[in-house]
């Protein structure tokens, strides 16, 4: 075996090795070699500086290499990094208590895990055990993860070619106000009629074993779709009528991104089970399932089992505590509201200059911009979205676009909560230029 080398590979060798040895796991790799990242920027091997408008994988809410996160990792890994899964440590108990303190009653029990998929897997498993049922309802444009139960509740992508999904999974339409399916006389979304119809269909298909409804407060991979005010209260009532638990997946919306600590606060409801991930670790692998003492007790008495390698790991729990420190001290919920308003104003100005911008939506620092060929027909164009995305990267802005059948290209814009107005302005300027260049090219 050859001795390992620390000499950087040439660009040509790098991409040759990547092609030869990496499994492709979804689309093409971005053709940039990232050497380091700091704050809101990525730095490439060839010296380019790229503004990160996706916070990594929608996770790095404190920006990249936040000094307090760096210090926590250095300190913690030198004292206590990983334990047998049945052992406890101060960082784990502290984080569980502090998460409970950010939430309304009765959410007070926490299970600390690694990824969003894992947290949703645990939440579904808990709901099935507690209710004694197995059927799960989710939105038709949902994304809850790539493990078995989470993937079976994911409808935005990845369902074909893998054989049977978990039995008893059902989809209901996402209430999309820009592209409504059920409408009032004036053409606006009639979400109540849509929801009633959805559960009529669920009732017709169910074998009488409805366990839970697992949904995102704002569908991110589905195209930044935000259900209207009142929707979640009505959805919770549908669940209660059927003895179902309501599970909210706040992987991308939790911990201040939308301008409040949790997106569900807007709707005046409390879920039976809450999952958080991505933002909790600010880019490191940390997730949590949060529920009531009553549900936890019932699950425990029935033998709830979710014994994983990295459950209750002290290293990432310490990071989670630091994330809460920074969010609280720097009032990043307020900052997300302020910067979110600034971002939206800039997007509206872009919409005023470019007729291909069909819709702007989202909340706080989770914004969506939908591109269309025609504002009246709302006709979409994959080519336009791809051109704008590529041109943004060429100009120094990393953007993520969702392109699904029946929907125009939707940019998911989620800069770090620590971004400055100057950085937001830079991103808006590049996006403006990229849209103009793409329109000219088409």
Determine the distance from the C-alpha atom of residue 198 to the mean position of all C-alpha atoms in its chain, rounded to a whole number.
24
CB of 238 closer than 8 Å to CB of 196: no
Kindly name the residue from 252, 272, 359, 391 that is annotated as catalytic. Answer: 252
What is d(CA 68, CA 415) in angstroms, rounded to the nearest whole number? 19
Beta bridge partners of 216: none
CB of 50 closer than 8 Å to CB of 42: yes
Strand order in the sheet with 409-413: 357-363, 366-371, 409-413, 400-402
* Of 116, 80, 94, residue with least CA distance to 314: 80
DSSP letter string over 176-221?
Answer: -SSS-SSB-TTS-B-HHHHHHHHHHHHHHH--S-EEEEEE-SSBTT
DSSP letter string over 370-391?
Answer: EE-SBTTTTB--HHHHHHHHHH
What is d(CA 144, CA 122) in angstroms, rounded to the nearest whole number? 12
- Dihedral sign from CA coordinates of 73, 31, 431, 50: positive
Per the annotation, the verdict on 278 as an active-site residue is yes
Kindly name the residue from 135, 143, 236, 423 that is annotated as catalytic. Answer: 143
Kindly name the residue from 121, 135, 216, 423 that is annotated as catalytic. Answer: 216
Q: From residue 398, how far is each of 49, 92, 309, 313, 347 by CA, in Å?
A: 10, 34, 34, 32, 16
What is d(CA 100, CA 89) in angstroms, rounded to the nearest whole number? 17
Kindly name the residue from 236, 278, 335, 337 that is annotated as catalytic. Answer: 278
CB of 117 closer than 8 Å to CB of 214: no
Total residue length of the chain: 442
Per the annotation, the verdict on 15 as an active-site residue is no
List the alpha helices (DSSP H) in 102-170.
116-131, 148-152
What is d(CA 144, CA 73) in angstroms, rounded to the nearest whole number? 28
Structure tokens at 269: 């409801």
Per the annotation, the verdict on 375 as an active-site residue is no
Kindly name the residue from 118, 121, 190, 249 that is annotated as catalytic. Answer: 249
What is d(CA 170, CA 362) in angstroms, rounded to the nearest whole number? 26
Per the annotation, the verdict on 378 as an active-site residue is no
Kindly name the residue from 261, 359, 412, 423 that is annotated as catalytic. Answer: 412
Per the annotation, the verdict on 266 as an active-site residue is no
User: What per-residue string of b and e applies to 317-343 under the rule 16 or more CB within 10 Å gives b?
Assistant: bbbbbbbbebbeeeebbebbbebbebb
Per the annotation, the verdict on 46 as an active-site residue is no
What is d(CA 260, CA 157) in angstroms, rounded to the nearest whole number? 29
Determine the distance from the C-alpha atom of residue 312 to the mean position of all C-alpha atoms in its chain, rounded to a whole number.
22
Could you list the active site residues?
Answer: 143, 216, 249, 252, 278, 412
């Amino acid at each position: 075996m050859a001795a390992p080398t620390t000499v950087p590979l040439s660009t040509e060798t790098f991409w040759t090795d990547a092609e030869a040895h990496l499994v492709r796991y979804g689309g093409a790799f971005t053709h940039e070699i990232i050497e380091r990242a700091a704050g809101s920027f990525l730095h490439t091997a060839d010296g380019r500086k790229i503004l990160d408008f996706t916070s990594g994988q929608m996770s790095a809410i404190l920006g990249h290499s936040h000094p307090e996160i760096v210090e926590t990792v250095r300190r913690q890994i030198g004292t206590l990094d990983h334990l047998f899964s049945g052992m406890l440590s101060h960082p784990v108990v502290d984080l569980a208590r502090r998460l409970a303190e950010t939430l309304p009653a009765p959410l007070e029990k926490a299970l600390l895990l690694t990824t969003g998929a894992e947290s949703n897997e645990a939440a579904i498993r808990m709901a099935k055990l507690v209710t004694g049922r197995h059927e799960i309802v989710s939105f038709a444009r949902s994304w809850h993860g790539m493990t078995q139960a989470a993937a079976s509740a994911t409808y935005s992508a990845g369902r074909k070619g893998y054989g049977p999904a978990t039995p008893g999974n059902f989809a209901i339409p996402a209430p999309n106000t820009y592209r409504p399916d059920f409408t009032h006389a004036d053409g606006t979304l009639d979400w109540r009629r849509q929801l009633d119809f959805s559960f009529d269909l669920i009732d017709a298909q169910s074998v009488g074993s409805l366990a839970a409804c697992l949904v995102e407060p704002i569908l991110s991979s589905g195209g930044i779709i935000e259900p209207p005010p009142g929707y979640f209260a009505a959805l919770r009532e549908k669940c209660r009528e059927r003895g179902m638990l309501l599970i909210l997946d706040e992987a991308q919306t939790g911990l201040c991104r939308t301008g409040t600590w949790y997106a569900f606060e807007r709707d005046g409801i409390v879920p039976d089970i809450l999952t958080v991930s991505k933002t909790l670790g600010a880019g490191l692998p940390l997730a949590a399932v949060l529920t009531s003492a009553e549900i936890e007790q019932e699950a425990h008495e029935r033998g709830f089992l979710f014994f994983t390698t990295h459950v209750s790991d002290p290293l990432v729990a310490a990071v989670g505590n630091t994330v809460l420190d920074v969010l609280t001290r720097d009032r990043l919920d307020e900052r997300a509201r302020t910067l979110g308003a600034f971002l939206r104003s800039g997007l509206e100005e872009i919409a005023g200059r470019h007729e291909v911008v069909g819709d702007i939506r989202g909340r706080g620092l989770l914004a969506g911009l939908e591109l269309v060929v025609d504002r009246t027909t709302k006709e979409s164009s994959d080519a336009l979205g791809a051109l704008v995305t590529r041109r943004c990267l060429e100009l120094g802005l990393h953007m993520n676009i969702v392109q699904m059948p029946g929907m125009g290209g939707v940019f998911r814009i989620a800069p770090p909560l620590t971004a400055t107005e100057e950085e937001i302005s830079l991103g808006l300027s590049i996006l403006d230029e990229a849209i103009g260049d793409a329109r000219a090219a088409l």
